[in-house]
Structure 1
Amino acid sequence: MSATADTVAGAPAPPANLPWLGVAAVLVGAVATTLTSRLTSLGLADVRGAIGAGFDEGAWIPTAFSAAQMMIGPLAIFLGRVYTPRRVLLAGCAVYGIAMFLLPLAPDLRTLLLLQVVAGLGSGTFIPLTASFILISLPRHLWPWGLAAYAMNIILGLNVASSLEGWYMEHATWHWIFWQNTVVALPLFALYWFGLRRLPIDREYLRHGDFRGMLLAASGFTLVFIALDQGDRLDWLSSSLIVTLLVTGAIALGLFLLHESTLDVPSIDFRLLVRRNVIVLIVLVLATRFLVTASNTLVTSYLIQVRGLRPLEVGNALLWVALPQLVIAPLVAWMLGRLEPRFAIGTGFAMAAAGFLLATGITSQWVEGNFSVALLLQAMGETLELTAVIYFFGHHLGPTDGITFGAIIQTARLFGGQLGTSLLVVFTRKAEQWHSNLIGQHVAATDPATTERIAAYAHAVGSLSQGNDAEARGAGLLATAVRTQAYTLSTLDGFLLASCVATLAVALVLVLRKAPDMAAPPAVPPRPF
């Protein structure tokens, strides 16, 4: 098959300017995927209540969507190579839109989980091709603009979700958590239709391509992902399910590596991993995804657990990350065309570290406005570092690295986010227990200060109590105060952990060497799109 084929069944190739529509399409697909995943998590309580699901069984609702995305990732790369990205993305968009429309109509949990899997399989085709599409379709001098928009969409999607979910619950219904994605799928389908080139099916690759290897990789990564997602709820290695998932996933990944080593032309070229800077860049992508997750998760959890805010009110704080992206992203693109990428990466991580350190001044009295400066610094740093890392990564790609690059970005995106979430959940939970124990040691029943505090609480609620209820309620309020302080301190520790990760990333940037021939013309061929 010709790499420059422009027609299919006599259909004319799109005009030269239409790849810009393709760039818009993959960017919209990226934000839709990120937003859907985050909205489902934030609105989980409302969805559980609507279908009558309990906490434990309802916990599988967001897992079903994200695990399906992980499953389809490697397979989408294979299918895109065979059937062309245009066909795969059009099919994925249609499946995603229909499943999202049907989800609120599900009569029970089993049907809802099945539709979540279908929706995840559809949307999981969007991300693997996004960054590689930008690098392939745009001239090199426009890479910073496309990648800045890509970074903006991911961060925007994560941080605007709280505002959307809160607005839907207060002014509409929970159904729009899913139905909004059907609305997005309609213009997205049109963008894919007009923005991606019509290319013939690669029947030769269909006969000789490594579908078996991609299936092994997809299965292995999916099983490990599910274990990470459900691990904290099921107490990790104390659960036979988690152990089984981890062992089976590790075996599948081992078989995948063994299988790839026997192929003359493996689908995933692992030689890219030993190329200069590549391992360091993958670690930096994971660090960036962790920091983006930390910005969103820590602030959201604190405002809900300590301040008792609703999702819409939480969204007011996160808008300090989301809305400035409309200014930050173009500024980052402009800067990246004039700065050495390694300096830009280090500057981004340093700004993020400063933002997290500023947030360690948190007290139990903080409200959403107190986070504004810290979140703004984090937003600027995370957009700069993510854009610069992928931009610098692009200069290390050879003519045959498109598939491998797409697989790396998809895996790092999903695993980085899930590893970040799992680590933060475990770390803050253990920190809260530790702080609660330390504070509790100073709250003795016979201590005059404790007795005085309970008496003050009892007096405050005395007019609302009967008999000895006032003293009991006073003791309950003291216990609540201890929990509040412990949770606040654990959030502080989470910010401190994130600042340490960002600082280590700055140190890691120092080992990066100049990319091979930064001034050379793009080595990645335009064939797939």
Structure 2
Amino acid sequence: MAQAAPPKEYPPLEGSQRTLGTIALSAAVFMNVLDSSIANVSIPAIAGDLGVSSSQGTWVITSFAVANAISLPLTGWLTQRIGQVRLFVWSVLLFVLTSWLCGFAPSLEMLILFRVLQGAVAGPMIPLSQTLMLASYPKAKAGMALALWSMTTLVAPVAGPLLGGWISDNYSWPWIFYINVPVGLVAAWAAWRIYQHRESATRNLPIDKVGLALLVIWVAAFQIMLDKGKELEWFQSGEIILLAVIAFVTFVFFLIWELTDKHPIVDLRLFALRNFTIGCMTLAVAYGVFFGTVVLLPLWLQTTMGYTATYAGLVTAPVGILAIILTPVVGKLLATQDPRRLVTAAFAVFAVVSYLRSGFNTQADIRTIVIPTIIQGAAMAAFFVPLVSITLSGLAPERIPSAAGLSNFVRMSFGAFGTSVATTVWEDRTTLHHAQLTESIHPGNPVADQAIQGLQARGLSLEQALSTINNLIQQQAATLSATDIFYISTGIFLLLIGLVWLARPIRAGGASKEAAGAH
């Protein structure tokens, strides 16, 4: 059996080295997270150019997210085989190559293939940037290191829709992928220059082929089931039933295999730690709900409210204002405050924002839409860093890459699932509301007859008048459906407040009482 080399402890970076390392790691993370959101407002442009529906176009988002989620938990195993610095740099360089290929994709099928490859090679980037960032700073400044790291994860989802919309309206959608090339090359060069002499110990671990195959099968089957469900009428379809059975059976076998194998590709034993489990699951559910609404809002603005891609991006961009301002403050507060209190405040704000959005209507003006968006920035700043702190509390340095990879896998999986669920529920509820609203539109109804006569008086034929009324009903139905989702989100965030308090309090230095007792 391969013996683990003793973990190497490197002193924190100082001065310009730390600054350049922080910038390099942040740029790589920014590029990665940007690609998970930049296509959101560009879906109509991509779908139109490639001759597919907007519903099919959402595969551009979910294909990346699923492949990324599958490769994330492999980070710990790959780090022990390759070394965290080499793995990080190779991940960035391959991400640049696949981004370039995405821009050249001539069809939706090819674009999805390249997005799958892009997501797969991007997996190790986020957890390893987290690991390298923490190692670059003294332990006393771990909260600030996480805050600086998370700044990019907060800014990128904001910049993504804005940048994607501007590029789609003024250039062409392939440029949303081409912009990764210069950023990635510079980030890889700088990271190698700073960290090449701080490589982690490696060992020749056997490949857990069975675990990897089971992981790919159950995640892919579950995601395809979610994406295809709305088209195939869910469990009325034999294909959906088959996918559900495959996902469930392979997931059960995956759990059994990984918990009993000597060299599991995913360290599921981390879930034996209460803080890892509570922090990981709370962050995942919150991120799934958050990301689902991040995808839904620009789609609603463009398809229902008549916004251009650029304008939809501008309306959603102010969410970054408070996030950028408050994230460093949250990093400092982590040194003295219970992170559970910060998360509670964040979820309360998320609930308020969702509740405000549940009151949107087809007459909503810019001010009505932007105010909740600005407020949401405060919640974004206060939920991510504290939950990461809870999740990684008390772990030995050599377990952090595995823990970061696994927690990010669960988070990204829930982000992909949240997107699928949000778009599916939106379409289903839109159909339901449309049917309910049209029940009263029939000959003999005074309101309907008056509306039709008014439109005909303006020169429209009967068919044109009915089509105009149907479009108005569709707009109203889509809006009611979106507000349903925002209302449900309110309740979920309130329930998550109770969940986070199941975690144990963290002592000074980042160790939980549970971990301290274990030592």
TM-score under structure 1 normalisation? Answer: 0.86
| Partner of residue 233, structure 2 | 235
2:390 aligned residue: 392
What are structure 2's unaligned runs of at least 5 residues? 514-519
- Kindly indicate whether the alpha-carbon contact (under 8 Å) linking 2:143 and 2:332 is maintained by their aligned counterparts in 1: yes
**Which range is displaced more, 418-427 or 499-508?**
418-427
Deviation, structure 1 residue 490: 1.4
Partner residue in 1 for 2:146: 147
Residues 352 and 381 of structure 1 are in contact (CA less than 8 Å); yes or no, is this contact kept in structure 2? Answer: yes
Supply the distance in 2 between the matched residues of 1:216 and 1:433 (Cα, whole angstroms). Answer: 36
Distance 1:139 1:418, change over 3 A: same
* Superposition pairs of residues 83-102 of structure 1, within 5 angstroms: 83-102=82-101
User: Which 10-residue stretch deviates more, 308-317 or 121-130?
Assistant: 121-130
Contact 2:205 2:263 survives alignment (8 Å): no
Structure 1 residue corresponding to 2:424, chosen from 423, 426, 433? 426
List per-residue Cα deviations over 1:196-229 (Å, max 9, x = no partner): 24366856x3244646534543443333334334
- Matched with 2:493 is 502
Aligned counterparts of 2:138 and 2:14: Cα–Cα separation in 1:
13
Tell me, yes or no, if structure 1 residue 4 matches structure 2 residue 8. Answer: yes
Query: Cα distance 1:75–1:500, how it changes in 2: closer, same or farther (>3 A)?
Result: same
CA distance 1:237–1:48, change in 2 (3 Å)? same
Per-residue deviation at 1:384? 0.6
Residues 216-225 or 81-90, more deviating: 216-225
Distance verdict in 2 for CA 1:373–1:224, change over 3 Å: same
Deviations 1:364-403 (A, max 9, x none): 1113332222112222112211111111222242455324
**1:42 alignment partner, SS class:** coil
Q: CA deviation at 1:19?
A: 5.2
Question: Is it true that 1:489 corresponds to 2:480 in the alignment?
Answer: yes
Greater CA drift, 341-350 or 377-386: 377-386
CA distance in 2, matches of 1:477, 1:54: 22
How many matched pairs? 508
**CA distances 1:179-209 after superposition (whole Å, capped 9, x unpaired):** 1111221222123212324366856x32446
Measured in 2, the distance between the counterparts of 1:357 and 1:174 equals 34
Residues 291-306 of structure 1: pairs in structure 2 closer than 5 A: 291-306=289-304
Find the residue that maps to 2:197 and give its secondary structure.
coil
Mapped contact 2:259–2:269 kept (Cα < 8 A): no
Please state whether the residue corresponding to 1:40 is helix, strand or coil: coil
Instruction: Name the counterpart of 1:119.
Output: 118
1:163 corresponding residue in structure 2: 162
Q: Does 1:511 align with 2:509?
A: no
Per-residue Cα deviation, 1:286-313 (whole angstroms, up to 9, x for no partner): 2320242144233212211221111101
Q: Which residue of 2 aligns with 1:375?
A: 373
Identity of aligned residues (%): 21
User: Which residue of 2 is the match for residue 46 of structure 1?
Assistant: 45
The alpha-carbon distance between structure 1 residues 350 and 59, as it changes in their structure 2 partners (threshold 3 A), is closer
Distance in 2 (CA, whole Å) between partners of 1:56 and 1:306 is 15
Describe how 1:191-210 pairs up with structure 2 within 5 A: 191-198=190-197, 205-208=203-206, 210=208
Structure 1 residues 114 and 491, CA gap change in structure 2 (3 angstroms): closer
User: How many Å separate the matches in 2 of 1:391 and 1:172?
Assistant: 41
**Are the aligned partners of 1:229 and 1:418 in contact in 2 as well (CA < 8 Å)?**
no
Q: Which moved more, 1:139-148 or 1:182-191?
A: 139-148
3-state SS, counterpart of residue 173 of structure 2:
coil
Distance in 2 (alpha carbons) for counterparts of 1:89 and 1:522: 29
| Distance verdict in 2 for CA 1:185–1:178, change over 3 Å | same
The CA RMSD measured in Å over matched residues stands at 3.0
> What is the alpha-carbon distance in structure 2 between the residues aligned to residue 456 and residue 406 of structure 1?
62
1:221 touches 1:249 (CA, 8 Å); kept in 2?
yes
Contact residue 266 and residue 406 of structure 2 kept, 8 A: no
Partners in 1 of 2:199 and 2:327 — Cα distance? 36
Check whether the contact 1:359–1:371 (CA below 8 A) recurs between aligned residues.
yes
Query: Are the aligned partners of 2:62 and 2:416 in contact in 1 as well (CA < 8 Å)?
Result: no
Counterpart contact for 2:323–2:380, Cα < 8 Å: no
Native 8 Å contact 1:99 1:116 kept in 2:
yes
Question: Is residue 70 of structure 2 the alignment partner of residue 66 of structure 1?
Answer: no
Q: Distance in 1 between matches of 2:475 and 2:129?
A: 42
- Cα gap change, 1:476 to 1:139, in 2 (>3 Å): same
Asked if the contact 2:39/2:161 (under 8 Å) is kept, the reply is: no
Q: Which amino acid aligns with 1:174?
A: W
| 1:472-519 Cα deviation digits (max 9, x unpaired) | 22222222222222222112111111111111112223433323x444
Distance 1:240 1:77 in 2: 37
**Contact 1:286-1:412 at 8 Å conserved across structures:** yes
Tell me the CA shift for residue 353 of structure 1: 0.8
Distance 1:20 1:258, change over 3 A: farther
1:17-59 alpha-carbon deviations (Å, 9 max, x no partner) = 5455444333322221222132234323433444555768756
Distance 1:508 1:381, change over 3 A: same
Higher mean C-alpha deviation, range 228-237 or range 174-183: 228-237
Question: How has the CA–CA distance of structure 1 residues 123 and 263 changed in structure 2, closer, same or farther, with 3 Å as cutoff?
Answer: closer
How far residue 338 of structure 1 moved from its aligned partner, in angstroms, is 3.6
**What residue ranges of structure 1 are gaps of 5+ in the alignment?**
7-12, 524-529
Helix, strand or coil at the partner of 2:395: coil
Whether 2:457 is the aligned partner of 1:453: answer no
Work out the CA distance in 1 between the residues paired with 2:380 and 2:211: 34
CA distance in 2, matches of 1:335, 1:32: 28
